[in-house]
Amino acid sequence: MSSPGAATTARDDRPATARSLASRAREAVVARVRDALGPSPRQSILSTLSLTMIIATALMLWKTLILCTMSDSPIVVVLSGSMEPGLRRGDLLVLENWRRATEIGETVVFNVRGRDVPIVHRIVRAHGRNVRGDDERLMLTKGDNNFADDIGLYAPGQRWLTEEDIVGRAFVFLPHVGRLTILMNDYPAFKVCLLAVLGYYVVTGKD
């Protein structure tokens, strides 16, 4: 037979346990609601500032690279197999424009009038001509893995490249570094998913 004091203690424990369970349940519900509503305004502001800093830093690095290399597009990724075996799809090139003259045998990146994507090929012929007292360099290019030169790739009526067409000369070669660019170029859905995932983690601040 239990004493009256023991019976009183047992009765007091039951409400305490119920209150503890109810408190935990409320905390769980509040946590789920917060997760459903998304980050707090403070977290959103911090995430926005973080994203802004990342973009600003990337732009500063890009502008610095442009100034150092004197090329408007200092980094390119090889998108085709026309320069194999020396250069393969997914290889990354760093370009420079430190000197004006371009010699036979150099690997260059050039723009074709009317096309958005630049081409990475090698100079196989070059000569100069005097235009208004200025020596202008004319160049013919060809892919190492191609049978014919690039005249068929140039704009209609164009048989030579000029220095204005040259984006830069390759001086640093990093194999396979640009594979991610190839995947995004070949599979647009992969690009969208990757950007969505990166954007989600930057905005939410989740690791």
User: Is-contact 180 91, C-beta < 8 A?
Assistant: no
- The predicted model scores a pTM of 0.66
Q: Is 40 a catalytic residue?
A: no
Which of the residue ranges 12-16, 19-23, 199-203 would you say has the lowest mean pLDDT? 12-16
Over residues 153-160, mean pLDDT: 91
- Please tell me which residue in 121, 135, 149, 176 is annotated as part of the active site: 121
Q: Which two tokens stand for residue 50?
A: 């973080």
Residue carrying the six token digits 């023991």: 6
- Ordered by start, the domain boundaries in the chain are 1-37, 70-176
CA distances from 24 to 17, 27, 88 (A): 11, 5, 59
Q: Is the pLDDT of residue 24 over 90?
A: no
Q: List residues bridging with 8 in a β-sheet.
A: none
Q: What's the CA gap between 121 and 147, in Å, rounded?
A: 13
- Give me the architecture of the 70-176 domain, per CATH: Ribbon (2.10)
Label residue 30 by pLDDT band (50, 70, 90): low
Residue 41 pLDDT = 67
Label residue 187 by pLDDT band (50, 70, 90): confident
Q: What is the pLDDT of residues 98-140, one digit of tens each?
A: 876 678 899 999 999 888 889 999 999 988 765 544 567 899 9
- Please tell me which residue in 82, 91, 135, 165 is annotated as part of the active site: 82
Residue 197 pLDDT = 81
Q: What's the CA gap between 107 and 105, in Å, rounded?
A: 7
Q: What is the pLDDT of residues 47-83, one digit of tens each?
A: 778 778 888 998 999 999 999 988 888 999 998 899 9
Q: Is 121 a catalytic residue?
A: yes
Q: What is the pLDDT of residues 158-170, one digit of tens each?
A: 999 988 899 999 9
Q: Is 82 a catalytic residue?
A: yes
- Please tell me which residue in 150, 165, 186, 207 is annotated as part of the active site: 150
